[in-house]
Amino acid sequence: MILVLDFGGQYAQLIARRVREARVYSELIPYDTPVEEIRARNPEGIILSGGPCSVYEDDAPRVEPELFDLGVPILGICYGMQLMALVLGGEVGAVQIREYGRSDIVVKSHDGLFAGTPDRQKAWTSHGDAVFAVPEGFEVTAETPSVPIIAFEEREKGRYGVQFHPEVRHTDYGLEILKNFLFEACECRPEWTPVNIINDAVEKIREQVGGARAICGLSGGVDSATAAMLVHRAIGDNLTCVFVDHGLLRHNEAEQVVEAFAQNSDVPLIHVNSSGRFLDKLAGVTDPEAKRKIIGEEFIRTFEEEAGNIDDAKFLVQGTLYSDVIESGTRDAARIKSHHNVGGLPEVMDLDLVEPLRNLFKDEVRVVAAELGMPEQLVWRQPFPGPGLAIRVIGEVTAERLEILRRADAVLQDEIRSAGLYRELWQSFAVLPAIHSVGVMGDARTYAYPIVIRAVTSDDAMTADWARLPYDLLERVSNRIINEVPGVNRVALDITSKPPGTIEWE
């Protein structure tokens, strides 16, 4: 295991992902986790993430000096490198020329992190401070034209630092550098595999649930389905799945979910139609956070009611992912939006949560799902938010607006699949802003809704780029929506990446 200490940097989660991509298990923990607690975790290595602060500020995050005496290799990245230098007796200060973006680095030593990489390479930098003098015993291993100390090492004690970001794809040999740390410095073994993930998850579920019964909130997506399969493997017939149709699903989706589950699983499924209940609660609500929290609470109350009909049902299984947790806000990461299954949960619940995917990213879940034998069409189903179309109607959610959005989205999905682009996109969907625009149809003035097309590519939903859809595809989508969906007279395309935008509009 590798522990990544989070100093609030924008790439902290990405470090943990890259370590896992090398098939080494990693966990992200707060930077001020006590050293004794870290020692008890018995990590093979420690990585100090980047962060937004300057190390010489009075209130900058610090670590206990004893961290560097644990006898395990430590890699500092950006802020982590500067903090290592400062704690161990080096000097850090502001540079005259800041480095942001791809920088040319010159490697001066290939004995450690840079083994097997060229003398000159490009790396992603984002810093206004730098190490001016290395601590005693350290060797400068790389430089840039404006920063003479871009990397240093003290290999005998297993201490390494890089001012750039090896976890970012824009760093040419970033993965090789991380692997040199993992496999050479830390002597890790690539054992973080789907089989081991499954075995560990099943063991933890059995420990938590014991002989009690559980219900699983099934949505029809790969996350909840994978969670259900893992829990079923752990507790067998003590699991019952509950599919709640909240009236915020896409065209014919409820029927498709029930049919697909029946064909691919032996787990009992309860289908609850609660569409009227959710729409009543959402009446007059326009604030996105309020929508998410209302939906999150109604889900829980519905699950609690169904659990009351099952003897000894004490647990609720959810397909919560790591990205859900991060975006809903942690101590070192600001809230971006409350996910209905994390930040949108009510404070008081009758059921204890079982979340076997809570520490996994979406790409890891898909690998696990494939290992469990899940059908390919479900493994690669595009993500659909738990609050459903409620957060794709921008404004108050009404039955009329939902029906318009369903029909427009069905056209988009049909054309995306016909073009063979479904698997290439992370998500593609329609958005309905609750406004009207002027148009002309049949020589008459119209005043109707616009539809916004959103399509993005991504690896894990933490970042995303807007998809460059072909013009002829966009033309077909626009023509069909305007001609086939009453109440729409305009189609627009969202070309915002994440950041600065999010994938969903609310």
Give me the pLDDT at residue 350, please: 82
Regarding whether 200 and 180 lie in a shared domain, the answer is no
Query: Active-site positions?
Result: 78, 165, 167
| Domain endpoint, select from 185, 216, 233 | 185
Q: Map 354-408 to HEC letters.
A: ECCCCCCCHHHHHHHHHHCCCCHHHHCCCCCCCCHHHHCEECCCCHHHHHHHHHH
Give me the pLDDT at residue 327, please: 59
Regarding whether 120 and 219 lie in a shared domain, the answer is no
* Segment of 37-41, 194-198, 273-277, 372-376 carrying the highest mean pLDDT: 37-41
506 lies in a domain? no
24 lies in a domain? yes
Regarding whether 240 and 107 lie in a shared domain, the answer is no
- Give the CA angle between residues 41, 43, 49 to the nearest 5°: 105
User: 240 lies in which domain range?
Assistant: 194-379
Regarding whether 94 and 210 lie in a shared domain, the answer is no
Around 228, how many Cα atoms within 13 Å sit in the side-chain half-sphere?
26
Rounded to two decimals, the pTM is 0.73
CATH number at residue 366: 3.40.50.620
Q: Three-state DSSP class for 334?
A: coil
Give me the pLDDT at residue 94, please: 81
Q: Above 60 in pLDDT, residue 443?
A: yes
Average pLDDT, the chain: 89
Regarding whether 150 and 9 lie in a shared domain, the answer is yes
Give me the pLDDT at residue 429, please: 98
The number of domains in the chain is 3
Residue 477 vs residue 373, higher pLDDT: 477
Q: Above 50 in pLDDT, residue 42?
A: yes
Q: How far is CA 297 from the centre of its chain?
A: 22
CATH number at residue 449: 3.30.300.10
Q: Mind listing the pLDDT tens digit for each residue in 374-399?
A: 888 888 889 898 899 999 999 999 99
Give me the pLDDT at residue 160, please: 97
392 lies in a domain? no
Regarding whether 242 and 280 lie in a shared domain, the answer is yes
Regarding whether 247 and 180 lie in a shared domain, the answer is no
Determine if residue 137 is left, alpha or beta; phi over 0 gives left, psi from -120 to 50 gives alpha, anything else beta: left
Sequence letter at residue 477? V
Regarding whether 451 and 324 lie in a shared domain, the answer is no
Regarding whether 169 and 33 lie in a shared domain, the answer is yes
Structure tokens at 258: 């029930």
501 lies in a domain? no
Regarding whether 155 and 12 lie in a shared domain, the answer is yes
